[in-house]
Amino acid sequence: MEQRVPSWLACAVVCLVVAGQGPRSGVAGGPERKSPASPLDPVAALAEFQLNPKFRIEVAAAEPQVIDPVAVRFDENGRMWVVEMGDYPNGPAKGGRPRSRVRWLEDTDADGRYETSRVFADGLLFATGIQPWDKGVLVTVAGELIYLVDSDGDGVADKRETWYSGFKQENPQLRANHPTFALDNRIYVANGLRGGVVGTRRAVWAGVSNPVAISSRDFRFDPRSGVCEAVNGNGQFGLTFDDLGRRFVCSNRNPCRHVVLGGEYLASNPHLAVSEVMQDVVTPGADSRIHPISKIWVTSNLHEGQFTAACGVTAYRGAFLGEDVQGNIFTCDPTGNLVHRETVVPEGVSLKGKPGRKGVEFLASRDEWFRPVNLEVGPDGALYIVDMYRAVVEHPQWVPEELKNRPDNYAGNDRGRIYRIVPADHATGDRNETVPGLGQLESARLVEELRSANGWRRDTAARLIYQRQDMRAIPPLQELAGD
């Protein structure tokens, strides 16, 4: 199996060969100038983007409302939940307090800007992902998946329960991430390429499942019963599903991989040996192509113009951005300061991608501080971009000795942005629709939401139906299944 570079936020080893090269433009005849040496404020940063002209980029949230974001989810009432990894890159000093946090934000005036911000939980170690569930949120942290609840309604978590532990944490970057509720009513977790032996720590689930080894496999569990298992395929930092429930993951050099063969199918014929259970949808490795417009550092001169830090793979499942974007695959490359887009078509039992525009990225920035690490489709159907906004994302463990203690390793740890992509002709500052309070809907009404063109609404309605176990939902579900 190919040896992958161990980092999801950055490439592994910075090579000085590339450092002397001049800035590049992603478009022939485009502007050629040096990227800003200093950080830009959120408004000024907008001028540095080069975006597909069919779309416009807006600031949804920025420091101080959000700092060091690495993951985003929206709950049933439209709140934006953000995971902030203040621990990056080296974690807290010996005896120091962990700096990762979970924060929620609200857009109370529906202008598209999330101006209300509250820290929900802090003192977390290397938080990487989040999934709303029932009365709280599930969060992947160092070695564990925990459940945080605000029981008194003050907006701050006052209960913490460890649901699962045993995820490996030997490497600062390669940790379990992206807990994601799926079509089968299970929550999937990317293993971070480092595995572990994972078991429940909830007393009420004792004996439900034995601990499972997840080396080279991801993890899934039933949030109601606690039954858990390892599943074929493994992702580094990124996990997404398309409308048909197909699962996709990514790693540094593999911007999108489809998990084709599930373990349940292979188990039916133990005599069948297969060499691979995943298929690259987007061209990987040395044959991959990206088109940054900033001056960048890569793992070696041989990696210039290639994916070296692919992360946050996301299938767009909405109607807001147009029919030609539905089902497209988006992947971040923070070292390239860009977001890549591919259209996909069937190829055998899997899919094959093609760049959305030849020789030009969907979104790229001349600002070297722009560090897109994750993506999310929101309640409004917009594509949200999680920008950690750091001067340096290369981890000191993987750079030459002379760069390990560079003074700017933490530069930008007081900044962070969440952008959203909307159609170019969409009214500035307006949402395309009022964000629905799905949490207040009766179960029968939630079943109607399963017909929505917006994947977020379908997923959220399905989650609420499964949470509630309301028998009144059965007749409309039967009717829907018969249509």
212 located within any domain: yes
Domain co-membership, 317 together with 457: no
3 located within any domain: no
Residue 143 gets the label, from left (phi > 0), alpha (psi -120 to 50) or beta, of: left
Distance CA 393, CA 334 (A): 8
Q: Under DSSP, is residue 453 helix (H, G, I), strand (E, B) or coil?
A: coil
Length of the chain as a residue count: 483
**Contact of 322 with 395, CB cutoff 8 Å:** no
As given in the structure block, the two tokens for residue 352 are: 């094959």
**Contact of 146 with 126, CB cutoff 8 Å:** no
**Contact of 6 with 174, CB cutoff 8 Å:** yes
**Contact of 353 with 328, CB cutoff 8 Å:** no
Handedness of CA 323, 189, 369, 41 (dihedral sign): positive
| Composition of the chain by helix, strand, coil, percent to 5 | 15, 30, 55
Domain co-membership, 330 together with 478: no
Domain co-membership, 405 together with 344: yes
Domain co-membership, 447 together with 368: no
6 located within any domain: no
**Which phi and psi angles does 320 have, rounded to 5°?**
-60, -40
Domain co-membership, 255 together with 171: yes
Which of 414, 435, 456 terminates a domain? The answer is 435
Closest among 180, 126, 168 to 143, alpha carbons compared: 168
Q: Please give the C-alpha separations between residue 261 and each of 246, 276, 349, 428, 458, in angstroms, as whole numbers.
A: 10, 9, 10, 44, 25
As given in the structure block, the two tokens for residue 389 are: 């906004």
Q: Please give the C-alpha separations between residue 436 and each of 77, 135, 212, 380, 480, in angstroms, as whole numbers.
A: 6, 18, 38, 9, 21
348 located within any domain: yes
The CATH code of the domain that includes 59 is: 2.120.10.30
DSSP assignment, residue 461?
Answer: H
Domain co-membership, 49 together with 183: yes
7 located within any domain: no
Domain co-membership, 250 together with 366: yes
As given in the structure block, the two tokens for residue 415 are: 């900044």
2 located within any domain: no
Distance CA 263, CA 293 (A): 42
Domain co-membership, 195 together with 307: yes
Distance CA 349, CA 250 (A): 19
CB neighbours of 114 closer than 8 A, spacing ≥ 6? 60, 61, 65, 80, 105, 106, 107, 418
Domain co-membership, 453 together with 386: no
Q: If you search the block for the tokens 């009513």, which residue do you land on? A: 185
Domain co-membership, 175 together with 223: yes
9 located within any domain: no
Distance CA 307, CA 333 (A): 7
Taking only the tens of pLDDT, the chain with its 483 residues reads 444 433 444 333 333 223 333 333 333 333 443 334 799 999 999 999 999 999 999 999 999 999 999 999 999 999 999 999 999 888 898 899 999 999 999 998 888 899 999 999 999 999 999 999 999 999 999 999 999 999 999 999 999 999 999 999 977 679 999 999 999 999 999 999 999 999 999 999 999 999 999 999 999 999 999 999 999 999 999 999 999 999 999 999 999 999 999 988 888 898 888 889 999 999 999 999 999 999 866 555 668 899 999 999 999 999 999 999 999 999 999 999 999 999 999 999 999 999 999 999 999 999 999 999 999 999 999 999 999 999 877 655 655 565 556 666 666 688 999 999 999 999 876 654 555 689 999 999 999 999 999 999 999 999 999 999 999 999 999 999 998
Domain count for the chain? 2
Domain co-membership, 406 together with 461: no
Domain co-membership, 310 together with 452: no
Distance CA 328, CA 321 (A): 11
What's the confidence (pLDDT) of residue 483?
87
1 located within any domain: no
- Measured CA angle at 202 (ends 199, 204), to 5 deg: 120
In terms of residue numbers, what domain contains 213? 16-435
Distance CA 189, CA 145 (A): 9
pTM metric for this prediction: 0.90
* Cα 143 to chain centroid, rounded: 18
